Structure 1
Amino acid sequence: MELVSVAAIADNRVIGDDGELPWPSIPADKQQYRERIADDPVILGRVTFESMLDDLPGAAQIVLSRSEHGFDVPTAHHAGGVDDAVAVAESLGAETAYVIGGGGIYALFQPHIDRMVLSRVAGEYEGDAFYPAWDDADWRLESTTEYDRFRLEEWVRVDTTDR
């Protein structure tokens, strides 16, 4: 199973402020993000899940929560940790699962993800949620696509057994 982290991040790694994006909406970013994750399960934290209830992303939502939690959404599944989330995604027949936040979930999955798809929003913003730092030696920038107001970067984890 391939785990892919998808996030919009500012130059200072800020991804959110009080549950909202800290920069004005970027429709082209939202569109490419939604299209990318539409047909696969997404892994997200409970707070992020609850903030998206009106427009849930992905084919299924795997919600990480420390406590067992029931959901009134037929596509939502509970997971207690990384291994549990991966097992749920595999049980759904997924070849790819997208990790979509929040900050604590990104940090929890960072050692396990295979790819990062990052919308880089220029500038530094105030915020209370951050994307985790990574060691460039462990990653290769595979592609960069320029858009109006953001740059989409696709990173692939380097096979450390080759070093």
Structure 2
Amino acid sequence: MKLISVAAVADNGVIGDDDEVPWHLPEDKKQYRERVAGSPTIFGRRTYEMFDEPPGSAYVVLSRSEREYDDENAHHASSVDEAADIVESLGADRAYVLGGAGIYALFQPHLDGMVLTRVPGEYEGDTHYPEWDEDDWRLVETEEYANFTVETWERREGDGTA
């Protein structure tokens, strides 16, 4: 099973500001939702609760405290390993990690891939994508859009714990 993070990242690493995305890119939102539509998604509780309709086929919500969710497709996990076990129990071959910053950081050593929307410019924000060593990764695809670029990265063989 593969774990892949998906994030929109400004030139200065910002991914959010006060639980909001500091830019408006409808085309990015569309490609993002299409990309993850048929797969389970993994969120922190606050990120999950930001969505009126979370993307993905099932939702794994990491939280320190046990919670019940109104959506029957939402599952609580208290660790990276438990989240991965839930995804595997759903029969999925991949899951997309969708944030927030703490969740991205927790999963970074376990990721097989990253899909990063590169948003040009520097934005004010209180939330950043975690730093990562580009030597451990290989850029396998770049998709150009009018106002952003989507990069697909794969972890190099023998790196990380994934």
Q: Give the TM-score, by structure 2 length.
A: 0.96
CA distance in 2, matches of 1:104, 1:136: 20
* 1:8 alignment partner in structure 2: 8
Query: What do you get for the CA RMSD once the two structures are aligned?
Result: 0.8
Code of the residue aligned with 2:90 in structure 1: it is L
Give the alignment partner of residue 151 of structure 1, picking from 149, 153, 160. 149
Superposition deviation, residue 160 in structure 1: 2.9
Per-residue CA deviation, residues 30-74 of structure 1 (Å, 9 max, x unaligned), is 11100000011000000001111x111100000000011111111
For these two proteins, the number of residue pairs brought into alignment is: 159
Code of the residue aligned with 2:73 in structure 1: it is T
CA distance in 1, matches of 2:128, 2:90: 29
Code of the residue aligned with 1:36 in structure 2: it is R
* 1:29 alignment partner in structure 2: 28
For the 8 Å contact 1:138–1:160, the answer to whether it is kept is no
Q: Does 1:51 align with 2:45?
A: no
Give the alignment partner of residue 101 of structure 2, picking from 100, 103, 127. 103
Code of the residue aligned with 1:127 in structure 2: it is G
Code of the residue aligned with 1:34 in structure 2: it is R
Residue 109 of structure 2: SS of its match in structure 1? coil
CA distance in 2, matches of 1:135, 1:56: 30
* 1:69 alignment partner in structure 2: 67
Structure 2: 5+ residue stretches without partners: none
Per-residue CA deviation, residues 12-39 of structure 1 (Å, 9 max, x unaligned), is 110000111112x111101110000001
* 2:131 alignment partner in structure 1: 133
Per-residue CA deviation, residues 79-107 of structure 1 (Å, 9 max, x unaligned), is 00100000000001110000000000000
Structure 1: 5+ residue stretches without partners: none
